[in-house]
Structure 1
């Protein structure tokens, strides 16, 4: 399998279904953070909305949000919690232009038909689902980006709570599939805890068994790291030879820890 970036194909808005489609219907927000009834929720696909007879693509879209029509006729995709009183929210649950809303599931080159893709997204395949072919595609994507792009990982501490996943992430760093990591301080803390004490949050990272006074482990790690003055000095002093932090330092990979 050789990865190729898919080509995007815009809809043909000269077709009758688009020409005859009505403009979107809007309703204003009356309670901050609460969308009107029958709001349209965004998907993982490119979405177009008909405003004053013109189809407009919602830029910077994200899943499970609502679309707000602004005074200048531009579109803003908002999370529910960010809705303000007076925002004009687009309404409609039809997505094939009938309500002035078109979800373009066939915008990229796929093997499935648009109908199959739409059905799969709405009934089974979500961003939380993963299958063997998805991992195959991910491997090819990582290989492509290693040669042609820049790979940034945004990680939570769950990746290092398990012995094998911790080693797998370190292996990706060593193999050149990581150019930078963004994470919270918990990732570094529990990764170092696992490298020294073989625990994370006081549980053995392989057996998941809790150890006596294990809840002190990560606090001890933080205290010792602060005494060392830097992660580099701490790794050297403790003779750490495995883990995500160690691999980042060894391979000169930037590790940005976002601390509240």
Structure 2
């Protein structure tokens, strides 16, 4: 992935930049007037004459200096009364905050080219590159987070997702109640939303997802249902067996829900953010709301252990161009859009990952 150079703060244009200004938060969850609003881009704050990067970068947050002198990006609701918050609006360093947008500048402006739109179903999909990045992440011990919608299960991509979980390509799974419900329904009854593997409706199938929920609730949790042999295969089974963490968040329309589902929206954000701050890659498939929610928590970059920066690979897959465009419009500009259905994407990506593993001389799991 592309590296992102740090700005040269010895350059003349930074020589007269002041330290950032701080004001105390007037109350818990209330920011001072004129607080600086963060983006997902590399951000530097001048404190005590030195330019520093805050921890846990994300968009739509505030810059907070804690009692130990550590800089953080915090959502407004998490800021406590009296904490020091950066105030100002400028992003060019003139008020002590610099947002690095220089690396986003493109090349070849003014030259006519085909297929330069950000999202198009006519654009070729470079599966080989995506597979290479995914294998790289696994081999370097990265933390790819996968954000999935129920269409992934209904479209018969369940086996491929299970394969990725089982073989170390998933750091964490973020999804809604429905993904787990229909995956578990498939494990117990062999159907999703009452449909057989061939897509045909089954007798009494409309209630099978409810029966699956009931079995898990009776067991106490998804993990306990796996241990009891109620769930014997599939995505959630693989997560439990291979120790891959998952966050299932609720919505107003959920059946059940499953006992593992976080139904409080703010608690769900906290649970998702625990994984978003560790993400070194993101793959979002067939889910508009979860993709946008996760995208808002992600920085556009990864900070390596040596302090260097690189772009955070973000792949958004949906059969609709609208969903991919919406994610980018909401600020996740680094997202690479793939306009196709979940089944085709997962099948082909797995094929290319297997090829990449073979080319490297690494074991190719079946």
Bin for the TM-score computed over the shorter chain: 0.5 to 0.7
TM-score norm. by structure 1 comes to 0.66
Closer, same or farther: CA 156–94 of 1 in aligned 2, 3 Å: same
Name which one, 1 or 2, has greater alpha-carbon Rg: 1
Q: Provide the residue aligned with 1:128 in structure 2.
A: none
Query: Relative CO higher for 1 or 2, CA cutoff 8 Å, sep ≥ 6?
Result: 2
**Residues 248 and 57 of structure 1, relative CA distance in 2, 3 Å threshold:** closer
Matching residue within 211, 218, 221 for 2:212:
218
- Pick the aligned partner of 2:73 from 58, 61, 77: 77
Question: Could you say what secondary structure the match of 2:14 adopts?
Answer: helix
Q: Deviations over 1:196-230 (max 9, x none)?
A: 33555x5659879895435622334316767xx65
2:156 corresponds to which of 147, 154, 164: 164
Match status 1:149 vs 2:137: no
**Separation in 2, partners of 1:37, 1:203:** 54
Per-residue displacement from partner, 1:34-87 (whole Å, max 9, x unpaired)? 222332122222211112332222133222211112355432221111111112
Report the Cα distance in structure 1 between the residues aligned to 2:19 and 2:147, rounded to whole angstroms.
41
**2:243 equivalent to 1:254:** yes
Which runs of 5 or more structure 2 residues have no equivalent in the other structure?
A: 108-116, 248-259, 263-366
Q: Which runs of 5+ in 1 are unaligned?
A: 114-123, 126-130
User: Aligned-pair distance for 1:193?
Assistant: 0.9
**Per-residue Cα deviation, 1:223-245 (whole angstroms, up to 9, x for no partner):** 6767xx6525526xx8x5x6224
Distance 2:99 2:92 in 1: 7
- Note if contact 1:67-1:75 (Cα within 8 Å) is conserved in structure 2: yes
Secondary structure (helix, strand or coil) at the match of 1:48 reads strand
Query: For the aligned residues, what is the CA RMSD?
Result: 4.3
CA distance in structure 2 between the aligned counterparts of 1:246 and 1:213, rounded to whole angstroms: 22
SS of residue in 2 equivalent to 1:221: helix
SS of alignment partner, residue 13 of structure 2: helix
How many pairs are equivalent?
232
Using a 3 Å threshold, how does the CA distance of structure 1 residues 57 and 219 change in structure 2: closer, same or farther? closer
Displacement of 1:158 in angstroms is 4.1
* TM-score of the superposed pair, with normalisation by structure 2: 0.50
Question: Which residue is equivalent to 2:106?
Answer: 112
Q: Is the CA contact 2:171–2:244 (under 8 Å) kept in the aligned structure 1?
A: yes
